[in-house]
Structure 1
Amino acid sequence: MRRALTFALALLCLPAFAVELKPFSASYTADWKQVPVSGSAERGLQALDDGRWQLSFEASMLVASLSETSTFRVDNGAFLPQTYRFERSGLGKGKVVEQDFDWSSKQVLGSDRGEPVRFALNRGLQDKSTYQLVLQQDVAAGKKSMSYQVVDGDEIETYDFRVLGEETVRTRAGLIDAIKVERVRDPTQSKRKTILWFAKDWSYLLVRLHQVEKDGKEYQIMLEDGTVDGKPVEGRRD
């Protein structure tokens, strides 16, 4: 359950910017089929005064809480992470991750659960928040398959995705036309499944996420309400 919550909440909201990066805010409900209590989350993207952007996230579910903040710059369409902070409490052991991306020395320096980490930094490497923005951009641009190199704790992992098609999602904000995307995993290595739905008419905001764990347990996140570039998200009504 801890891994499912961490991954699912990390993907709660993705702003779209095929043309330009837009600020957003969104709230979600989170449901674990084996737990009778729903959770909630808030995520937002804002421009900072120094030219950077900040993507922030707060979530809670039952006795668990999670916070994540990433700052980054955009340079000729490339997303350059600057700092990444993650903290989780509840659901067993807590976790704290800190990463600083030093583009002058081309190094990622930080710590994972108190253990120091260091990686070579090359253009294209993302943290666990900024890769979501790149995924969002690629979906908006019409790509059908995507792959990203991501600093994941004390390792660099490859995250693969593919587009499955279009589907209408029923949310509290109304019926929203969405692009359905699947995270691709090696079935011989993992039985986990993750499906995401991005709103076509609302800058490809994430409106739904459904995850199945290797033991068959299911987890779902659904859009409650949100704004993109200051405009309230509104779907069609029956």
Structure 2
Amino acid sequence: MRILKLSRTLLAGATLAVFTTAAFASGPTPFTATYQVSRGGEAMGEATITLKSLGNGEYEYSNQIHGTSGLAAMVGANTSDVTRFRWNNNAPETETYNSKVSAFKTKQRIMQVDWNTKQVSVDDGKGPTNYAAAPGMVDRNTTLLAIGLALRSGSQSVTLPIGVKQRVEQQQFKVQGTETVKVPAGSFQAERVTRTDSDKHFDAWYVPKQFPLPVKMEQSEGGDLTMQLVHYSTP
């Protein structure tokens, strides 16, 4: 009898493991997340982040920030970051990235990755810069998502090849511990992740079993930017 029960338990566990692996291998679940955004401690606006499946292992990941308070509202500051990536080897891999910042004037950067030739082209209006792509390369827009997906798979230390303007940076992130974090979406026991290869301040608090994005993020790059989760939903 004990052997029979043990066999059933092992079978159920194996079935669950296969199901989980298969579900994760098929790609992330689409979602919509909204955040409060502040800069230097002052309210700035709101961000809407969406992930859409385009079929055949292709996804569109969009981060739209609208200035609704203070100077950001006065100058009509908005940012739009849209990435198209493919799901490859159980991780995202950037194909195109379009970044646009609008305030007093508009700045735009377009990245295109040709995975057949393994070449990256980046153009911010001053002529393209080309360099070699790296397997598993993402862009700065999809960094938060790529970290969260790695944490969900059980990683505690993550190295990401991130395509920037002139090269691929091997950025390193590590879980430093678990902390209680209160944001508009609620109170969470979250894993605090820091960047360990740079002195630039970066902290992100993840609840990987619930969300592929952090519930809170703080970084010095971009002017002491803070994002706090307000709402998260899936189709």
TM bucket (normalised to shorter chain) is 0.7 to 0.9
Deviation per CA, 1:124-175: give whole Å up to 9, x if none. Answer: 2222234433311222223222222211122322212111111222122221
- Larger helix proportion of the pair: 2
In structure 1, distance between residues paired with 2:29 and 2:89: 16
Query: Which protein has greater RCO, CA pairs closer than 8 Å, 6+ apart?
Result: 1
The answer on whether the counterparts of 1:208 and 1:220 sit within 8 Å (CA) in structure 2 is yes
Residue 214 of structure 2 corresponds to 206
**Following superposition, which runs of at least 4 residues in structure 1 exceed 4 angstroms of deviation?**
17-20
Query: In 1, Cα distance between the equivalents of 2:91 and 2:210?
Result: 22
The CA RMSD measured in Å over matched residues stands at 2.5
Q: Which amino acid aligns with 1:199?
A: V
Question: TM-score, normalised on structure 1?
Answer: 0.76
1:197 aligns with 2:205: yes
Distance 1:120 1:161 in 2: 23
Selected match of 2:38 from 24, 31, 36: 31
Out of 154, 162, 176, the residue aligned to residue 142 of structure 1 is 154
Report the Cα distance in structure 2 between the residues aligned to 1:177 and 1:195, rounded to whole angstroms: 15
User: 1:58 deviation in Å?
Assistant: 0.7
Q: Which residue of 2 aligns with 1:71?
A: 84
Q: Secondary structure at the match of 1:142?
A: coil
1:22 aligns with 2:29: yes
Q: Do 1:194 and 1:210's aligned partners in 2 also have CA atoms closer than 8 Å?
A: yes
* Aligned residues with identical type, % of pairs: 26
User: Which amino acid counterpart does residue 166 of structure 1 have in structure 2?
Assistant: T
Query: 1:174-193 to 2 correspondence within 5 Å?
Result: 174-186=186-198, 190=199, 192-193=200-201
Q: 1:76 to 1:212 in 2, by over 3 A?
A: closer
Q: Which runs of 5+ in 2 are unaligned?
A: 1-22
Q: Which residue among 89, 94, 100 is the counterpart of 1:87?
A: 100
Contact 1:28/1:222, CA 8 A, preserved across alignment: yes
8 Å CA contact 2:183–2:228 kept in 1: the answer is: yes
Counterpart residue number, 2:229: 223
The match for 2:165 is 153
- Seen in structure 2, the aligned counterparts of structure 1 residues 68 and 120 have a Cα distance that, compared at 3 Å, is same
- Pick one of 130, 134, 143 that aligns with 1:122: 134
Q: Which 5+ residue runs of structure 1 have no aligned equivalent? A: 1-16, 231-238
Cα deviation digits, residues 100-131 of structure 1 (max 9, x gap): 11111221123124321111123222222344
The offset of 1:76, in angstroms, is 3.2
Match of 1:11 in 2: none
Q: How many aligned positions are there? A: 205
Q: Is the 8 A contact 1:177 1:200 kept in 2?
A: no
Aligned equivalent of 1:42: 48
Report how far residue 213 of structure 1 moved.
Answer: 6.6
Structure 1 residues 198 and 18, CA, compared in 2 at 3 Å: closer, same or farther? farther
Q: Name the larger-Rg structure.
A: 2
- Structure 1 distance, partners of 2:114, 2:93, is 10
* Matching residue's letter, 1:26: A
Task: Compute the TM-score of the two structures, normalised by the length of structure 2.
Answer: 0.76
How much does 1:66 deviate?
Answer: 0.7
